[in-house]
Amino acid sequence: MKITTTENNDIQLEEVFNGIILKTADGEEMAICMRDSGFEFKYQGEMYFAKEGQVMPFHKSVRGNYLVDQTPQCDSDNAVSNGG
C-alpha cells in the first residue's frame, strides 16, 4: 500500500489490495479494497463491486459465495449507481 497526500491535503491510498474498514462511533461500517480492475466494498453488511463508472451489488451463488453480476445495469431501479 502506498500512502501520499494530494495538493488539497487529502490522504491518497494506492495499491490497496487488503481491505480497509472505516467505522463511526455509532458502529456504522464501510470496508473497501481494490482489485486489478475496480473496487469491492461492503456497506452495512451488503457487498458491492464498482468498475468503469458502474456500481453493482454482489449476488450469492447457491453455495453462498458472492458473485458479481457482470451485466451492465442501465436503469436506476436495478443499479446502485448508473454512472451518470
Domain, as residue range, for 45: 2-68
- pLDDT by residue for the chain (84 residues), tens digit each? 899 999 999 999 998 888 899 999 999 999 999 988 889 999 888 889 899 999 988 877 778 776 655 444 434 344 444 343
Q: pTM of the prediction?
A: 0.61
Is 74 inside any structural domain? no
Spatial distance between the Cα atoms of 49 and 24, rounded to a whole number of angstroms: 22
From residue 78, how far is each of 55, 60, 73 by CA, in Å?
Answer: 10, 16, 6
- Domain membership of residue 13 (yes or no) is yes
The answer to whether residue 84 sits within a structural domain is no
Domain count, the chain: 1
73 belongs to a structural domain = no
77 inside domain: no
Q: Considering the domain boundaries, does residue 33 fall inside one?
A: yes
